Amino acid sequence: NPNNIEFNNLYLDMNDIIHLYCYLKNKSTSFTEKDMIVEIIEYTERIVAIICLKKVLYLAIDSIALHTKTNQQKFRRFKAV
């Protein structure tokens, strides 16, 4: 943290991070599930170190999106373009 500002709480939505490393796992034949988990943990630890977290780290992980929700998201994206 370049400003030496400390943070008490960090609430982190892990879905994007997990999806990124799942994508990398699927693109590489040598990237294992264990590698993926290690990378996710290391990435999270880097974030915590950068912001000088002091108290609470809340990691939010929800389930996969339902097919109907995925279709709605695609529709909104195309509608916005």
Runs of H (alpha helix) within 1-81: 15-27, 33-51, 67-80
What pTM was computed for the model?
A: 0.66
Lowest mean pLDDT among 16-20, 28-32, 47-51, 67-71: 67-71
- Specify the pLDDT at position 35: 86
Say whether pLDDT at 59 is over 90: yes
Taking the C-alpha atoms of 37, 38, 39 and 41 in order, what is their torsion angle to the nearest 10 degrees? 90
Assign 11 to helix, strand or coil.
strand
- Name the residue ranges covered by the structural domains of the chain: 7-80
pLDDT tens for residues 1-14? Answer: 667 788 999 999 99
Name the residue with higher pLDDT: 1 or 62: 62
Phi, psi of 63 (to 5 degrees): -75, 175
- Specify the pLDDT at position 1: 62
